């Protein structure tokens, strides 16, 4: 297969994620924050559902003055009725009585006995919140695929919902490969510390998946096939692997996936770092996002493949890079996008992004100190020109 461009790879990954089978979970409102809405949510009744007062003061009928009736309008369902020339005390949120033409604010009123006058005559309809002012019955309030923030959950509560249908996050199995990788201690020459194990479960959650366990194996063909075909791997919808994506005798991800009948969707990506990343689909529908072994390359490939896969899998819209100002001129790299950890700097009176230091494919310091990921197009970027970037998921 030919190599995919960076934008095309993201589109293919999103489509592959969207094709995964979704589970719908009904959650009470207090458990819905951070979840993805499964279906459009519409108002079950007008919002507000009845006319209410926007201020403390007096509900008045007709022009002043008024005779204060012996009543106080609060949140009762039936606040009664006012005749012309009458007024009743009312609180913010109180149901407006029939016959009310305006709300006279407390600070604009003068009361002597039961005689009420206005220091400033209220405009008809002022400070009355009419029924349906915010939303009509049946009006769509939140679209399917929305990430439910506290504000959106509050909207659902106001709209009359006690629980919400949400998309279940897909289970993700992690597979770490490499004879040279050690999980603790000081590496000897020829060894490297594992930088994936401590962070990939958290990255998976940040991007919208549910970690479903992890396995570490050496560079062995049979072990790789067994790990991809284990009961735990089969119970996941997505497998994320690290290492072994090359074409040497000790790289086993590609032949192992092929031995299990996997279809290659993305053979490699025209990007740096992360070119050897691969996306495959097994006959049962599971996806394999195979990331390179170099730490920075793997995480740039994670943002290229796994981020759109999990957005598609949870019904969220595909993301697009944000735009910033480039603090520096960056030379072209024909045929390849470059993903570079970057930091915000002041440049010419504006906030701009500049590449961080220590951003080689095997380095992590640059990403650890980064504010964003520059997405540099093959034709390069002029200083002060617009440049795309990806927000960090954390």
Taking the C-alpha atoms of residue 259 and residue 214, their distance in angstroms, rounded to an integer, is 21
In this predicted structure, what is the pLDDT of residue 75? 60
Residue pair 238/305 in contact by the 8 Å Cβ criterion: no
How much is the average pLDDT of 68-96?
84
Task: Select the more confidently predicted residue: 364 or 317.
Answer: 317
What is d(CA 100, CA 78) in angstroms, rounded to the nearest whole number? 13
Q: For tokens 């396995």, what's the residue?
A: 215
Lowest mean pLDDT among 61-65, 70-74, 205-209, 306-310: 70-74
Please give the CATH number for the structural domain made up of 322-391: 2.40.340.10
| Closest to 89 (Cα-Cα) out of 55, 40, 135, 43 | 55
Domain residue spans in the chain? 4-22+168-313, 24-46+133-167, 52-129, 322-391
Q: Give the strand pairing for 171-177 and 238-242.
A: parallel
- Is the domain 4-22+168-313 a CATH 1.10.3470.10 member? no
Q: CA dist 192 to 94, 219, 265, Å?
A: 68, 14, 30
Q: What is the mean pLDDT of residues 59-74?
A: 86
CB 350 within 8 Å of CB 312: no
| CB neighbour burial string for 206-241, b if at least 16 within 10 angstroms, e if fewer | ebbbbbbebbbbebbbeebbebbebeebeebbbbbb
Q: Residue 76's pLDDT is what?
A: 62
> What tokens does 220 get?
């062995």
pLDDT above 80 for 172? yes
For the chain, first and last CA: distance in Å?
34
Q: What's the rounded Cα separation, in Å, for the pair 38 and 388?
A: 30
Task: Give the containing element (helix H, strand E) for 14.
Answer: helix 6-18
Mean pLDDT score, 217-224: 95
- According to the model, what pLDDT value does residue 210 have? 95
d(Cα 17, Cα 6) in Å, to the nearest integer?
Answer: 17
User: Where does 24-46+133-167 sit in CATH, by number?
Assistant: 3.90.105.10
Q: How far is CA 100 from the centre of its chain?
A: 45
- More confident of the two residues 194 and 8: 8
SS3 content of the chain, % helix, strand, coil (to 5): 20, 35, 45
Asked whether the beta carbons of 284 and 349 are under 8 A apart, the reply is: no
List, as own/partner pairs, every contact residues 350-353 make where C-beta atoms lie below 8 angstroms and the sequence separation is at least 24, other chains included: 350/325, 351/324, 351/325, 352/324, 352/325, 352/326, 352/327, 352/384, 353/324, 353/325, 353/326, 353/327, 353/387, 353/389
Residues 337-356: pLDDT tens digits?
999 999 999 887 789 999 99
pLDDT score of 239 more than 70: yes
Given this model, what pLDDT does residue 71 score? 65
Q: Are 68 and 116 in contact (CB under 8 A)?
A: yes
CA neighbor of 331 nearest in space, from 377, 372, 390, 373: 377
Cα–Cα distance between 44 and 288 in angstroms, integer?
Answer: 42
pLDDT of res. 285: 97
Which pTM was predicted? 0.84
Q: Does domain 52-129 correspond to CATH entry 2.60.40.10?
A: no
Answer whether residue 360 shows pLDDT above 90.
no
Whole-number pLDDT of residue 353: 96
């Amino acid at each position: 297969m030919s190599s995919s461009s960076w934008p095309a790879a993201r589109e293919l990954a999103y489509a592959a994620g969207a094709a995964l089978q979704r589970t719908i979970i009904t959650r009470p409102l207090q458990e819905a924050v951070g979840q993805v809405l499964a279906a459009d949510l519409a108002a079950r009744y007008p919002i507000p559902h009845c006319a209410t007062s926007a201020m403390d003061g007096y509900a008045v009928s007709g022009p002043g003055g008024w005779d204060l009736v012996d009543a106080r309008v609060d949140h009762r369902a039936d606040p009664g009725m006012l005749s012309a020339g009458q007024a009743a005390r009312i609180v913010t949120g109180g149901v407006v009585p029939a016959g009310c033409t305006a709300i006279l604010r407390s600070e604009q009123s003068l009361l002597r006995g039961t005689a009420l006058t206005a220091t400033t005559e209220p405009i008809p309809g002022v400070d009355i919140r009419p029924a349906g002012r915010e939303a009509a019955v049946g009006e769509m309030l939140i679209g399917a695929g929305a990430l439910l923030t506290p504000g959106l959950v509050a909207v659902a509560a106001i709209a009359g919902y006690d629980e919400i249908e949400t998309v279940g996050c897909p289970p993700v199995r992690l597979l770490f490969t490499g004879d040279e990788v050690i999980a603790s201690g000081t590496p000897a020459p020829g060894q490297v510390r594992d930088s994936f194990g401590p962070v990939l479960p958290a990255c998976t959650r940040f991007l919208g998946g549910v970690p479903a366990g992890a396995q570490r194996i050496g560079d062995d063909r049979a072990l790789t096939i067994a790990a991809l075909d284990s009961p735990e791997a089969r119970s996941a919808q997505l497998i994320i692997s690290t290492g072994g994506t090359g074409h040497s005798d000790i790289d086993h991800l590609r032949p192992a996936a092929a031995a299990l009948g996997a279809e290659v969707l993305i053979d490699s990506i025209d990007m740096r770092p992360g070119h050897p990343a691969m996306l495959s689909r097994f006959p049962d529908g599971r996806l394999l996002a195979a990331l390179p072994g170099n730490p920075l390359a793997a995480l740039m490939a994670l943002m290229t493949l796994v981020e759109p896969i999990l957005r598609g899998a949870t019904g969220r819209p595909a993301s697009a890079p944000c735009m910033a100002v480039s603090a520096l001129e960056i030379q072209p790299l024909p045929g390849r996008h470059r993903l570079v950890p970057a930091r915000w700097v002041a440049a010419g009176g504006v906030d701009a992004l500049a590449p961080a230091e220590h951003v080689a494919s095997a380095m992590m310091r640059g990403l650890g100190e980064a504010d964003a990921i520059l997405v540099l197009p093959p034709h390069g970027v002029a200083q002060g020109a617009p440049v795309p970037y990806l927000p960090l998921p954390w």
